[in-house]
Chain A
């Protein structure tokens, strides 16, 4: 770059545009000198010292892991299963076991199923709805036990609050939380006049795992 081009005064129109004031020649010279002295003097001193002293170099056989600290912090955030159990995270407190508290959940579920089955009109085919329901999530559905090997489960109706691998937790209209094993029971789910029966023995999966599972068609199912 030409020295003349560096030393040239800033043109007037640029002064207006950039809103900077051009310094006088002498001032700029003094600033540049001071700046250069500051930045070069120390450098030369350090160089001399380092050249005079010996330097020890540690030859580590592996690099320290970079993200060790980050992972530690991540682990500390969550709880393990035992802690969750101890804190009773997945247990509904007795004061929250009220039927009307779960009615909004049921409404949500209704919308979800209606969306899932694309409108859910009375003309849609039951097979289609059943295929969809098989993979759907049932939290919030009103389910009824219609058949069971154990007679005392028969007739229980309520909103499905929690689904586990082998168990449904239901809240009944009497504000009672009932735990019903899936095995050896048949459940009925009603939505917009469609009643589907769920054979609990074939339904023993977690809701998340079920969505990926392939159900086989069987001729007859016995409890």
Chain B
């Protein structure tokens, strides 16, 4: 950590406050626009074990598939396009590749294939692209975005042939690939999976109970009550099991619970890891609303959804980069009166969230 710590890179935080009862709330579109969710963590205060309907949602998260060493041109396979891409939405992102040094690929549910390539690979591929927005002085990274549902990318078309020969003979791009399909599940991907070394994974659910947790006194949806930065910091610290019982002048850690604070006797923290679909997140939000309708001691629930750090895209398919963390996440604070606070946050190399 030799970098100058007093000069932190820019970060973006968008705060949104609305109610689920408000017809104009944008929560569903905001949830849907972050395509590649890596982790969902949930904090339920005054709760020792998750109620059954929440448990059911956790366990019914769509499973996803990991294909090892898949050549990227397989995504242009005629059969795959017909059965998966044109029908419904495919979520695919390259795995174990780093956005700042490797070539990363993402297949978005709207049929856009986004390739984030380094300079040499881009020169080899021979498909039009744009220089990355986050280049510094010299262009060393390019983004190629192709709409697979476009007429020019129909199998046999010129654009299709060009990309196919580019990926097949010139730039033989192979990565581990995470794949998920929304309505079809594995059945529509079976043809592609059968040709390679693949494994099916279920989202990994882990939960643990916290006792005597000091937490900020969040009564209702008023932004003034708590500074969003310190609130997010606290949520992150709880999720990462970092103690917040410090004084603000402590040498080791200055993480403290924002004032005013109360103490809850027990809290449940649940986290789900994997390639999670926005649809599942949305289902979870609905179930949390249902959960909050019953009278509780603490009247709020916090839900944080983290996007993939090394995904080439973040919100709305905009380009995403990593500078020091690559974080792109949103945190939803739901209150019992159906109001919510939404904090959308990104790091330095990202566009503004919606």
Say whether A223 faces chain B, with CB atoms less than 8 Å apart: yes
Say whether B185 faces chain A, with CB atoms less than 8 Å apart: no
Interface residues on A, range: 10 to 19
Say whether B124 faces chain A, with CB atoms less than 8 Å apart: yes
Given the known interface contacts A147-B123, A148-B123, the answer about A154 and B128 at a Cβ–Cβ threshold of 8 Å is no
B126:A152 contact, CB within 8 angstroms: yes
B128:A146 contact, CB within 8 angstroms: no
B122:A155 contact, CB within 8 angstroms: no
Interface residues on B, range: 10 to 19
Say whether B127 faces chain A, with CB atoms less than 8 Å apart: yes
Give the residue of A149, A152, A154 whose beta carbon is less than 8 angstroms from that of B170. Answer: A154
**Given the complex, which residues of A lie within 8 Å of B124, measured CB to CB?**
146-147, 154
A46–B192 Cα distance when bound, in Å, is 115
Closest to A223 in B: B123
Closest to B126 in A: A154
Interface centre among A147, A152, A223 (most CB of B within 10 A): A147
Closest to A147 in B: B123
Say whether A219 faces chain B, with CB atoms less than 8 Å apart: no
**Given the complex, which residues of A lie within 8 Å of B170, measured CB to CB?**
146, 154-155
Say whether B216 faces chain A, with CB atoms less than 8 Å apart: no
Shortest C-beta distance, B148 to chain A (Å), equals: 18
Say whether A119 faces chain B, with CB atoms less than 8 Å apart: no
**Given the complex, which residues of A lie within 8 Å of B166, measured CB to CB?**
154-155
Say whether B125 faces chain A, with CB atoms less than 8 Å apart: yes
Contacting B at CB under 8 A, from A184-223, are 223
Give the residue of A146, A151, A153 whose beta carbon is less than 8 angstroms from that of B122. Answer: A151
Q: Residues 139-152 of chain A: 1 if any B CB is under 8 Å from the residue's CB, otherwise 0?
A: 00000001111011
A146–B170 Cα distance when bound, in Å, is 8
A135–B127 Cα distance when bound, in Å, is 33
A148–B119 Cα distance when bound, in Å, is 10
Say whether B228 faces chain A, with CB atoms less than 8 Å apart: no
Shortest C-beta distance, A17 to chain B (Å), equals: 87
A152:B123 contact, CB within 8 angstroms: no
Closest to A156 in B: B126
Given contacts A147-B124, A154-B166, 12 further A-B contacts (CB under 8 A): A148-B126, A149-B123, A151-B123, A151-B125, A151-B126, A151-B128, A152-B126, A154-B125, A154-B126, A154-B170, A155-B165, A223-B123
12 contacts between A and B (CB under 8 A): A147-B120, A147-B123, A148-B126, A151-B122, A151-B127, A151-B128, A151-B129, A152-B126, A153-B126, A154-B125, A154-B166, A155-B165
Binding site for B on A (CB under 8 A): 146-149, 151-155, 223
Binding site for A on B (CB under 8 A): 120, 122-129, 162, 165-166, 170
